[in-house]
Amino acid sequence: MTLPMPPAVLEVVNAAVRFGEVRALDGVSLSIHPGECIGLVGHNGAGKSTIVSVINGGLSPQQGEVFSDGTRLAPYGIGVARSRGVRCVFQELSLCPNLSIIENTRIMHRNLGGFGWRKRAAAIILASIDAIFPDHGIDVGGPVGTLSIAQRQMVEIAMAFSDAGQPPRLVILDEPTSSLDAGLAAQLLAHVRRFVANGGAVILISHMLTEILETASRIVVMKDGKIVAERGAGGFDHASLVEAMGSAATHQTAARRAPAANQPVLELTLPKGQPFRACKGEVVGLAGLGGHGQTRLLLALFDRHSPQWWPIRNPAVTFVAGDRRENGIFDLWSILKNMTAASLGDLSRRGFVQDKAEIDRGDEWKVRIDIRTPDMNNPILSLSGGNQQKVLFARALSTRAPVVLMDDPMRGVDVGTKHEVYGMIRAEAEAGRTFVWYSTEMEEMQLCDRVYVFREGAIVAELTGDAISEHNILRASFEGEAA
Amino acid sequence: MRISTDTLRLAVPVASLLLLLAGVFYLQPRAMSYNGLNLLFNLAVPIALATVAQMLIMAVNDLDLSMGTFVSFVACVAATYLHDAPLLGALILLAAIATYAALGVIIYLRNLPSIVVTLGMSFVWAGLAVLILPVPGGTAPEWARAVMISKPPLVPMAIIASALIAVFAHLLIMRSSLGVLIRGVGGNQRSVQRAGWSIIAARASAYALAACFAVAAGICLVGLTTGADANIALRYTLLSIAGVILGGGEFTGGRISPIGAVIGALTLTLAGSFLSFLRISPDWQIGAQGAILIMVLALRLLLNRLESKGGKP
């Protein structure tokens, strides 16, 4: 480095993180200098949260080094990061809800102990909240559990900026404004600017691109675990930033059918935004940023159309879970049992499962979906992740349900399997099945006949045919502030 | 002004204690005396201590199913070694506390379910207790006996001891930094970890503190009964869990109340006496005690519901 720059508060060099088959970070280098506000943007799964975890010491990369003030920090961990003044506000709320705000302050600041710490903690956190959000009206003696989501977020932000003898030097804000209203968000961003002007450093992650454009002094765009663009604040405008986040997509020319003027098989009116509907033989995509109401819609659809108390003979909907370890597979069961779990009613007579029918069904689908196993009686965990997912697809497709709901089912599945499954979904749709498909991957949305884009729990756009493009989806996802 | 949620949580155990007390006094006015109160409550002291111990385990989202056998084991040690060879006795008890701390660490590190580990340990403690004291007997250490039968002026020992236990546990768990840390682990372990604390140390101290209270419970029990037996405190496991829940605690989330737990223990003890005064045959008493427990918990649930409704503006 030849420029007379102050040494970086924190510098990550060539960090790589791999979770199984997925490369979360692929050789990322990032340095943060005092007096800088870095805006970090990227689509879901671009690696933003991973790099944040590396910076705050919560995750040690398989490869790469961390420097601070010109010295290499090894080993690097949460304790070291905090002693260097690295603070983080996480996307999911991370206070202890059973403790009061004062007690949470005590947890955050390890060196606050000793007699009379309650008074000191109260003063510290109150000063910080007052500085960032004047007129907040929060009682710092009360438990966190009774605060509203916005108030919790405010407390958490104030906690990160609070100073108990060890001043914050680098504050990472991961979606800090997601639950704040416009006024509070403006107060926060004003504070970020003041903090940066006084020599602090901030990493700001936000899906509100205007916030990034207005606040950041440097903008870093991530995609697929890599930094794909890095420019000064003036180097981007709204459109070029959206452009940079997207890929130079290899456009899939999937056989997409014109939406037939069919009778809808599924309808649901959402509390706000456009209503949802899906027709027979249609593949409907749910797009938008993660956690904006897509999974909730799927669950609502499932609840609406599945029996509440008594089993029924003809199921109306079936579900493919994306989080297969959490709510997809039965860990201890065989592949066959996992596959037939949803259609035991069809395979049994007088309440007893017919072994022969079950085995035949298993063998049929083993061939059809190409489950790579020598024996369907092997335990499900003997399969690779992609093949486990195929079993889940087989479980759903082998039912007689005319509607298949899919909750980001391709998470962590390799490319080959994906394309096999895409073909099957297409074929089943041709045969008259309806698919409702939530995915965070753009490529998959382009396989759909129709796509609903979600934002803040509501459908904000409906795209059909050729209008389904990464560009349009991203634009609709960020529409709120583009206007 | 809205009543704070913590006060509301404490209201149920206090109200049920007072209600039961009123019932007992109505049935047996003679209980309304120095000796009467002492007799009503003196067996509650070890139960209160065991309840506080269980509460510490529950504060970190675990459950101790070996509480009863552990207290029995301690009682056996107290009635034998602690009386005959105080130094050796003290060492055994210290080793037991260290074992508890180690259990806390193992449960966390190996990600084991605490109920399975403690259920297993309950057989270990029970076995050790039988080895130490194969037949009921032993002698209480004089000092423990002296404390438990002391007659302070005006207020009976059982009431003073319960109040002291409640205040001490409250200061330790609700006011001190260590207490905040332990409850924080129950509330949101990740956030405590992210702040740079050692979860291992926090869990080890929660378990060790719990063991300390359980040891005190065992010694108190021997002081009251003058002797011990390997099965002396078996019901403490369930009593202590019920006491914590009765006192406003939760199984998860680090929501506990030491004062409530002590009151819960007193309520449970009183419920037994109340049923005896009602002349309910011993065959039915356990069932009736369960019915009282269910009623009180139903009341709690109702208040929780009101609370969550009131919490959202």
Q: Do residues A410 and A469 both lie within one domain?
A: yes
Structure confidence by residue, pLDDT tens digits, B120-141 = 999 999 999 999 999 999 999 9
Q: What is the pLDDT of residue A1?
A: 43
Winning range, highest mean pLDDT, from A60-64, A90-94, A171-175, B201-205: B201-205
| Domain's final residue, options A184, A210, A245 | A245
The answer on A211 and A81 residing in a single domain is yes
How confident is residue B4, by pLDDT bands cut at 50, 70 and 90? Answer: low
Of A45, A32, A264, the C-alpha closest to A171 is A32
Q: Residue A411 corresponds to which tokens in the numbers above? A: 């998470």
Could you report the per-residue pLDDT of A245-291, keeping only the tens digit for each?
775 444 444 545 555 556 777 777 777 778 888 888 888 999 887 77
Mutation target to probe the B interface, by most B beta carbons within 10 A, among A100, A107, A138 is A107
Domain ranges of chain B: 5-302
Structural domain contains residue A326: no
Average of per-residue pLDDT across B272-283: 85
> Which chain B residues in 248-267 lie under 8 Å from chain A, judged by CB atoms?
253-255
Q: Are residues A234 and A182 in the same domain?
A: yes
Whether residue A113 lies within 8 A of chain B, CB to CB, comes out as yes
* Nearest-neighbour CA in chain B from A145: distance (Å): 9
Q: Which residues of A touch B254 (CB under 8 A)?
A: 96, 98-99
Looking at the predicted structure, is the pLDDT value of residue A10 above 70? yes
- CA-based torsion, A353, A359, A362, A364: positive or negative: negative
The answer on A217 and A267 residing in a single domain is: no
Q: What is the pLDDT of residue A34?
A: 92
Looking at the fold, whether A309 and A424 belong to one and the same domain comes out as yes
Last residue of a domain, one of A400, A435, A451: A400
Are residues B69 and B125 in contact, defined by beta-carbon separation less than 8 angstroms? yes
Q: Between chains, do A94 and B177 touch, taking CB under 8 Å as contact?
A: no
> Same structural domain for residues A214 and A269?
no
Give mean pLDDT, residues A134-144.
88
A395: in domain: yes
Q: Are residues A294 and A370 in the same domain?
A: no
Q: Show residues of chain A in contact with B313, CB under 8 Å.
A: 148
Q: State whether residue A97 sits within 8 Å of chain B by CB.
A: yes
B9 touches chain A (CB under 8 A): no
Fold of B5-302: ABC transporter involved in vitamin B12 uptake, BtuC (1.10.3470)
Same domain, A386 and A411: no
A317, with CB counted inside 10 A (0-12, 13-18, 19+), is: buried
Distance CA A118, CA A115 (A): 8
The residue-averaged pLDDT of A196-204 equals 93
Chosen domain end from A219, A245, A271: A245
Instruction: Answer whether residue A141 is part of any domain.
Output: no
Note whether A341 and A462 are same-domain residues.
no
Which residues form the domain of A266? Answer: 251-316+401-483
The answer on pLDDT for A4 being more than 70 is no
Least confident range of A309-318, A436-445, B164-173? A309-318
Residue A98 forms part of a structural domain: no
Contact A177, A210 (CB under 8 A): no
Both tokens assigned to A371: 């489950």
Determine how β-strand A264-268 pairs with β-strand A276-279: antiparallel
Task: Tell me the helix, strand and coil percentages in chain A, rounded to 5.
Answer: 40, 25, 40
Q: What is the pLDDT of residues B289-309, one digit of tens each?
A: 888 888 888 888 887 777 666
Each as own residue / partner, the long-range contacts of residues A365-374 (CB below 8 Å, 24 or more positions apart, any chain) are A365/A339, A365/A394, A365/A397, A365/A398, A368/A394, A368/A424, A369/A393, A369/A394, A369/A397, A369/A420, A369/A421, A369/A424, A370/A420, A371/A335, A373/A335
Of residues A269 and A463, more confidently modeled: A463
Q: What is the CATH number of the domain that holds A297?
A: 3.40.50.300
- Domain total for chain A? 3
Residue A327 belongs to a domain: no
Cβ pairs A/B, distance under 8 A: 66
Q: Assess if residue A355 is contained within a domain.
A: yes
**Residue A110 belongs to a domain:** no
Q: Does B184 touch chain A (CB under 8 A)?
A: yes
Least confident interval from A455-464, B1-10, B258-267, B270-279: B1-10
- The pLDDT of residue B304 is 75
| Cβ(A48)–Cβ(A205) below 8 Å | yes
Q: Are B228 and B133 in contact (CB under 8 A)?
A: yes
Mean pLDDT confidence for A23-36:
89
- Band (pLDDT 50/70/90 cuts) for residue B169 is very high
Answer for the pair A57, A10: CB distance below 8 angstroms, yes or no. Answer: no
Locate the chain B residue with the closest alpha carbon to A87.
Answer: B195
Q: pLDDT exceeding 90 applies to what percent of chain A?
A: 19
The answer to whether residue B5 scores a pLDDT higher than 80 is: no
pLDDT of B311 higher than 60: no
Mean pLDDT of A236-248: 75
Tell me which residue of A322, A469, A295 sits closest to A392, measured CA to CA: A322
Please name the residue of chain A whose CA is at the shortest distance from the CA of residue B192. Answer: A107
Residue A324 lies in a domain: no
A45 and A173 housed in the same domain: yes
